[in-house]
Structure 1
Amino acid sequence: MTPHDPGGCPDVPSATTRPAHAETTACEPPRVRGLARDGVRLLVSRLSGGVIEHRVVADLPDLLRPGDLLVVNDSAVLPAAVRLDRLTVHFMAAREDGSWLIELRCRTGRPYPGGTKGEWLPLPGGATLRLLRRETSRAWRASFNRDVVPYLQRYGTARHLAHAPGDWPIDDYRPVFARVPGSTGVPAAGLAVSRGLLALLGRRGVDIAVVTLHMAACTDGPLPPEWRAVPESTARRVIAARRSGGQVVAVGASVMRALESAVAEPEALAEPKALAEPKAPAEPEPEAFAEPERVRACAGWTAHTVGPDCPPQVVTGLISGLRRPAPGRPSAVAAVAGDALTERSYGEAVRERYLWREFGDVHLVCW
């Protein structure tokens, strides 16, 4: 049985409309709004004194110091949607056993409520997807008879964001430093960094390092394990920055998860089976963090989660998209900034009409 002609999915897609909260949600990439990547607004929350500033991302070289380390995620977002006659299959997250979490949607964008265990779907190119079991209210675990990453690179299209449903090119979802295909989630913080900004940071004495973490695009439930790699060169740069008193600033919660897992789970070395190749607080004192020598190169799946109950041990600053955490997931921003400063910052962002979500403005928490 196949849901090639599913009930509950209208023949004609509904007209694209902006959500009711469009005044605070970015519905299109910055370039469509006439902005450069680093031209979006930057909300700055200072751990030292709890000061909040309003800048743009291009000001980042004036906000960081020589000797600081900026760490980016070089995972590239996949064209993770495969369109059928009246359904779209969204590939959401790779699983350790080679299966994938997928979501079925009507071509109108609404979640498709159907599907049964054992059902198979014929996909373009002779591929077959089999539904194994429901994992969450919207996600299925499914098996696929192809290598997923090369298949999506040939047959996939960019996965529409619910609040930004336009047909944007895949490059609009990818940071300029992305090079390893594997993510299905969109890295909001990384999208705001331009090549020119990276070059200027380097000239100002800010070091740049890279990790790989293949971000999952799960719609509900806790954050699943994700594949990550922390190279030896990055571990050395983290150690050097911390020893010299510099900040280690993660560009995105994905980077923080990867780096913190290098302390918490450095022994995880399994290869990814399904991927082609992973009051305001005072200024933190050095003893509040892990010994920098504990940061180790590592690669494999990580289930490590950073949040207020499990604060970062090596990361001292964070650049993040403006988005409150999903239910059941801890706040990465609050893990760095604390609850009080986080809520003040979010309240300021609302009052100043910052744009939220993946294509919106960003938030820097630093000393």
Structure 2
Amino acid sequence: MNMATPFSFRVPARLNAATPPEKRGIRRDHVRLMVLDRKTGRTQHDRFDQLDRYLDVGDVLVLNASRTVPASLRAQWRRGDQLIMSEVEVRLARRWTEVEWDVLVMGGEVQERDLLVFSGDLSGEVIGRKADHPLVRLRFSLLGPALWEELYRWGGPIRYEYVTGQWGLEEYQTVMASVPGSVEMPSAGRAFSWEMLIRLRRKGIKIAWIVLHTGLSYFLHDRWRLSPEDNWEEYRVPEETANMVNEAKRCGKRVIAVGTTVVRALETVSPRGFAEAGTGWTHLTIDQDYTLRITDGLLTGFHEPEASHLDLLSAFIRPDRLNRAYLEAVERGYMWHEFGDMNLIM
């Protein structure tokens, strides 16, 4: 078993992107872009809407079309006839069936058969929990459209402590988001605008889509960090995308994943070195010892030094080179997190 690679950079609070770029007077596609050569570690610095300068005709850009759902809700916590807490935050973590989700209950240790009451029409019973595990299994009282209607009526986006302002769900969507299911925004795609996607296509860069619904990634305490093996996420890779990716590989063109979610989906469906259409669940572990089968480049945001995402990035570029690039990004004032700047590794 490999030890986690130590990263020596630290992110000052001033570099946490606390508001969406549009609220800072910047177009979403005008955030900054650091381009990192995976072979040499050399960096270039640009603006995101200049991305086409680094792509060639026939390259395939693969994006995640998953849409962020309102995954943060408030509930009464009841145990039989007893009111334990009048209000707790419940964060959806992963959907398993039409009525069952894994959730994170903030501020208390719920037990099996406890009831979380969200509204007059919606409640959820705790039907299972594992020892020494942050998530519990919840069975909702509604299913299908009725459940979704209540979730959208009472829920909102998950907001982390570095974000200022109660930004609505639309601020946590990419422009291409069309399939509801992610509890956290697939944020690597947020900087794209429709104008930029159209311009890329006109220049001969191909655009393809997958769906991977992101699960909850942060559990408020370093003790609760799930390994990739425990992080199951639902994906769908359509046949059109698989064909486009395989054609690019046959022609010597590059496949660039927009986000770590896309890397996981593409690598999951490519066990034999070419992409195959499919749906399912993946917990694929990708780190510096993993040999990438299909993905040539990665477009992503900037990640904190303890984030598991950096293990995946280390499959693209040596950790020491990645660390040097991140130190430079800190020095140059790049912005972190879902509303921040972008990094192209290829």
User: For the superposition of Structure 1 and Structure 2, which TM-score range results when normalised by the shorter chain?
Assistant: 0.7 to 0.9
Asked if 1:231 is matched to 2:238, the reply is: yes
Cα distance change, pair 202–159 in 1 and its aligned pair in 2 (3 A): same
Partner of 1:123: 118
RMSD (Å) for aligned C-alpha atoms: 2.1
Structure 2 contact 260–309 (Cα < 8 Å) conserved? no
Structure 1 contact 149–182 (Cα < 8 Å) conserved? no
The one-character-per-residue Cα deviations of 1:32-87 (angstroms, maximum 9, x if unpaired) are: 11111111111110124331011111110111111100000000000111123532
The one-character-per-residue Cα deviations of 1:130-156 (angstroms, maximum 9, x if unpaired) are: 222147554323222223544423332
Aligned match for 2:333, one of 332, 336, 353: 353
Q: How big is the shift at 1:120?
A: 1.1
TM-score (norm 1): 0.80
Structure 1 contact 93–218 (Cα < 8 Å) conserved? no
Cα distance change, pair 325–306 in 1 and its aligned pair in 2 (3 A): farther
Three-state SS of the structure 2 residue aligned to 1:240 is helix
Cα distance change, pair 125–181 in 1 and its aligned pair in 2 (3 A): farther
Partner of 1:71: 62
Cα distance change, pair 364–300 in 1 and its aligned pair in 2 (3 A): same
Partner of 2:262: 255
What residue identity is the alignment partner of 1:89? V
Three-state SS of the structure 2 residue aligned to 1:308 is coil
Partner of 2:169: 170
Cα distance change, pair 310–361 in 1 and its aligned pair in 2 (3 A): same
Asked if 1:146 is matched to 2:142, the reply is: yes
Cα distance change, pair 325–102 in 1 and its aligned pair in 2 (3 A): farther
Range with bigger deviation, 95-104 or 344-353: 95-104
CA distance in 2, matches of 1:38, 1:125: 42
Three-state SS of the structure 2 residue aligned to 1:124 is coil
Unaligned stretches of 5+ residues in structure 2: 1-10, 76-85, 219-224
Structure 1 contact 45–341 (Cα < 8 Å) conserved? no
What residue identity is the alignment partner of 1:129? G
What residue identity is the alignment partner of 2:233? E
Partner of 1:309: 289
What percent of counterpart residues are identical? 32
1:84-95 to structure 2, matched below 5 A, reads 84=75, 86-95=87-96
Q: How big is the shift at 1:304?
A: 1.6
Asked if 1:102 is matched to 2:124, the reply is: no
Cα distance change, pair 149–300 in 1 and its aligned pair in 2 (3 A): farther
TM-score (norm 2): 0.85
Q: How big is the shift at 1:91?
A: 0.7
CA distance in 2, matches of 1:23, 1:136: 34
Partner of 2:80: none
Q: How big is the shift at 1:325?
A: 6.5
What residue identity is the alignment partner of 1:99? E
Partner of 2:46: 55
Three-state SS of the structure 1 residue aligned to 2:286 is coil
Range with bigger deviation, 336-345 or 224-233: 336-345
Structure 1 contact 133–142 (Cα < 8 Å) conserved? no
Cα distance change, pair 42–330 in 1 and its aligned pair in 2 (3 A): closer
Unaligned stretches of 5+ residues in structure 1: 1-19, 106-111, 265-289
CA distance in 2, matches of 1:24, 1:241: 37
Partner of 1:222: 227
Between the two proteins, the alignment pairs up a number of residues equal to 314
Q: How big is the shift at 1:102?
A: 1.2
Three-state SS of the structure 2 residue aligned to 1:337 is coil
Three-state SS of the structure 2 residue aligned to 1:71 is strand
What residue identity is the alignment partner of 1:159? I
CA distance in 2, matches of 1:307, 1:189: 19
Q: How big is the shift at 1:261?
A: 0.7
Aligned match for 1:333, one of 283, 308, 313: 313
CA distance in 2, matches of 1:250, 1:328: 17
CA distance in 2, matches of 1:342, 1:187: 22
Cα distance change, pair 104–246 in 1 and its aligned pair in 2 (3 A): same
Partner of 2:3: none
